[in-house]
Every structure is written in C-alpha cells, then in structure tokens.
Amino acid sequence: MSIITLLTDYGTADSYVAEVKAVLLAAAPGVLLVDVTHEVPPGAVRAGQYLLARSWHRFPGGTVHLVVVDPGVGSERRALAAECDGHRFVAPDNGLLSVLPAGARFVALAVGPQVAATFHGRDVFAPAAARLATGWSLAALGPAVTDAYRSPLPTPSQQRGGVEGEVIYVDRFGNLITNIPGDLIPRRATVLAGTTDVGVLRRTFADVASGEPVAYVGSGGTVEIALRDGSAARGLGIGAGASVRAAAP
C-alpha cells in the first residue's frame, strides 16, 4: 500500500485539508494518508522544516511526503517535487525542502492556468503526490531543477567552554526545542535560555518540582527546555529564535 504523508499549516477548522485528501483519494485509490500535522503556525516555513526533518525518514521507503507551508502561494516561486533515499516529496520552492540531503534530486511542477492561485496544495501538489504514489517517476513530472532554494535551519556554534544555539521550534506544550545536539553539551554544563538559568541537564520533566524549568535531551536528540506542568514559552517569555547557551562551570 502506498503512503502519502501530509504536513501543512491549513489547520482543521476549514475544508482545506479535506479538499486535498479528496484529490489524493480520487487519483490514488487505496493510498494510506498519514497526517503529520496541519497545525504549523501560518506561513512558518522554519517550523515546517523542523517537523519535516524529524519525521520523514521514520516512514518506510516509497513514502510520498506532501508538504505545504506556502506564504508565497500564487507568486513566481516554483512548485517542486524531489526524491532522495527512496522517498519522494512535493512542496513549494521556499526552503521547506532544505532539510533534504545534498544528493536529493528536484524537478519543477507545472502550474497550469486552471489552478487556483491561492490553493496550490489542492491543485498542484496533491495531483503530483498522487502520481508519485501510483508509480510515476520523478522525471515524468517535470524538468530537472539544479538550483532549488536552500535556507537551512540554523546550526549551533561551539565556543570556549560551551556551545551556543537557539530555539528553533515551540511545541504545543510550550516546550522550547533547540538546535543543540545533546552530545555537544559539556559535562556538568548549565543551560541558559534567554536570561534564565535552567541548571544542568536532567533526564525528564519529573526531575524538577512543579513550576520549575528543566533542560533535557528530547526525543529528537537536541536540548529542550520545559516548565514542569506549564509552558516554558509563556513562563520564560521566549520563543523561536531565542538564544540558548550551555557552558561548563
């Protein structure tokens, strides 16, 4: 059974997700549709990048990933399909696919005159995803692209005595997810989130009292900051882009 994942900023209050799924099911009967999320903040390309980066490779080879966070829909930005490591992708050319390895192959999708200028997810990306899921080759979808727009997520920098990075995503619990790999943290280092001293790395939320901040290595392998039984984003007053530093005493 073919799998198509969906990752968008459409939300679920309107019919947009259902319309995309209707196209997919009509063009690829029997396909398994998996919702990664439709709650990416509107237009937040970097949040979409982060969620795609941590999820796509967990699916079996042959999966098609439909990714639409598209503040430039209807503009001159290109529509793309891509392939790497046995997975295929469809997305706008706005940096969403920057998380793919350097060896990924890209093609440009046609945007015909019948396409709604404000809904390429339904009229461009869904038909392309269905074609890939039903056996079309990447090359059959359009001409090769060698200059796909790349805007990689920021990387941490190692400094004397520690490492400095930033919050790249805030999840629905208000946890602050950073770009600092756990294995870069110096032994007995303390974590500073914005101006708040969070202390040393802990194993999990229960290692601190209710209402206290806690730093730990999350399920994605990077340092995260939480507020036990609360929202670190609200409690610490910081969000995506905030500086995070871990340094030995």
Domain of residue 25, CATH code? 3.40.50.10790
**Domain range spanning residue 166?**
157-247
Q: What confidence category does residue 1 fall into, taking pLDDT thresholds of 50, 70 and 90? A: confident
> Does residue 25 share a domain with residue 78?
yes
Does a structural domain hold residue 37?
A: yes
Output the average pLDDT for the chain.
96
Task: Check whether residue 176 and residue 211 sit in a common domain.
Answer: yes
Residue 157 binned pLDDT confidence (cut-offs 50, 70, 90): very high
Q: Same domain for 112 and 203?
A: no
Write down which residue in 93, 112, 145 finishes a domain: 145
pLDDT for residue 249 is more than 80:
no
Do 133 and 176 lie in one domain? The reply is no
Q: Is residue 239 part of a domain?
A: yes
Of 171, 184, 241, the C-alpha closest to 217 is 184
In this prediction, residue 205 has a pLDDT band, given cuts at 50, 70 and 90, of very high
3-state DSSP helix/strand/coil % of the chain, to nearest 5: 25, 35, 45
Average pLDDT score over residue span 28-35: 97
H/E segment holding residue 60? none
Q: Which of 98, 119, 145 finishes a domain?
A: 145
Check if the beta carbon of residue 106 is closer than 8 Å to that of residue 80.
yes
pLDDT of 186 reads 84
Contact 56, 91 (CB under 8 A): no
Cα torsion at 85, 98, 55, 40 (round to 10°)? -150
pLDDT higher than threshold 90 for residue 244 = yes
Categorize the per-residue pLDDT at 84 as very low, low, confident or very high, splitting at 50, 70 and 90.
very high
Last residue of a domain, one of 145, 179, 199: 145
Distance in angstroms (rounded) separating the CA atoms of residues 136 and 203: 46
- Pair (28, 116) in one structural domain: yes
Average pLDDT over residues 208-215: 97
The stretch 95-124 carries a mean pLDDT of: 96
Question: Sheet holding 64-68: strands in order across?
Answer: 32-37, 3-8, 64-68, 87-92, 79-84, 105-108, 144-145
- How far is C-alpha 155 from the chain's CA centre? 15
Q: How many domains does the chain have?
A: 2
Between CA 109 and CA 92 the distance in angstroms is 10
pLDDT for residue 237 is more than 90: yes
Q: Identify the band that residue 160 occupies on the pLDDT scale cut at 50, 70 and 90.
A: confident
Please give the pLDDT value at position 161: 80
Report whether 178 contacts 192 (CB < 8 A). Answer: no
